[in-house]
């Protein structure tokens, strides 16, 4: 019995050490399992967030098509897969092209409003010039005031647009909405449908006189976070729009 008790005492540290290793390995296995489950849940949550975001955008596009008077167009829904890193040339690439009926100068919208127009096309994709590109321009209207003008970008201004060439610039107020002007002229047809929302007046620099007023516009579309777009294709010949 004394020998047995001595042996047990001598072997107890070793048994405790092996037990500690076993418990540690079990804990590590449990930790690894929980981490895998956490990572899987994170991935599923991220996928759900992307799907919800895209569903919201598609819903917005559907509402725009229904309420925006775009029945004369055949919208082609596309996905953005590349963005231009340039400050001066603001473009995105979409996964639809000439094989889908997309043509150069077709207007491009999302559920928030006007995004830009098609700049170039290949068989399976296209480059979209955004409102903030230095080469972009569109005739516009502040419907509440009835004042026409034109929209041009302000390079390096963080996405601001300029509502310019307004005859009665003093009539424009902060908060006014601005839309595409639209025209049904067959002699001078232009690209953009009438009454597509472009943006909202965010501030007015008054300068020294009425001619020096600079009307700054914030785009309605979030141009930094574009995912789902629609190209407005195949307008009927008798319904040209600006």
pLDDT tens digit sequence for 178-217: 999 876 445 445 578 888 899 999 998 876 665 678 899 9
Percent over 70 (pLDDT), the chain: 67
Quick count: other Cβ atoms within 10 Å of Cβ 179?
Answer: 21
Q: Are 147 and 176 in contact (CB under 8 A)?
A: no
The phi and psi torsions of 138 (rounded to 5 degrees) equal -155, 140
What pLDDT sits at residue 239?
37
Helix ranges, the chain (H) = 2-67
Q: Are 135 and 105 in contact (CB under 8 A)?
A: no
pLDDT digits 0-9 by tens, 152-164: 988 766 678 999 8
Percent over 90 (pLDDT), the chain: 32
pLDDT digits 0-9 by tens, 40-84: 776 666 666 656 656 665 566 665 555 555 667 889 999 999 988
What pLDDT sits at residue 237?
40
Quick count: other Cβ atoms within 10 Å of Cβ 47?
Answer: 10
């Amino acid at each position: 019995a004394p020998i047995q008790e001595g042996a047990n005492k001598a072997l107890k540290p070793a048994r405790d050490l092996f037990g500690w290793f076993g418990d540690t390995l079990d804990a590590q296995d449990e930790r690894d399992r929980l981490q895998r489950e956490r990572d899987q849940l994170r991935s599923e949550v991220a996928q759900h967030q992307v799907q919800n975001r895209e569903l919201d955008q598609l819903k917005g596009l559907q509402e725009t098509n229904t309420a925006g008077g775009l029945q004369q167009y055949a919208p082609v829904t596309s996905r953005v897969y590349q963005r231009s890193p340039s400050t001066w040339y603001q473009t995105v690439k979409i996964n639809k092209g000439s094989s889908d009926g997309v043509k150069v100068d077709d207007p491009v919208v999302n559920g928030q409003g006007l995004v830009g127009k098609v700049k170039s096309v290949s068989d399976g994709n296209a480059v979209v010039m955004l409102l903030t590109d230095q080469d972009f321009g569109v005739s516009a209207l502040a419907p509440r005031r009835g004042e026409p003008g034109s929209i041009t970008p302000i390079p390096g201004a963080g996405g601001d647009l300029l509502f310019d060439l307004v005859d009665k610039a003093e009539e424009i107020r902060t908060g006014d909405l601005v839309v595409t002007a639209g025209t049904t002229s067959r002699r001078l047809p232009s690209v953009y449908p009438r009454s597509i929302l472009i943006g909202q007046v965010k501030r007015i620099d008054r300068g020294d006189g009425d001619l020096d007023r600079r009307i700054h516009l914030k785009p309605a579309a979030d141009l930094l976070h574009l995912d789902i777009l629609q190209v407005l294709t195949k307008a009927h010949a008798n319904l040209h729009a600006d």
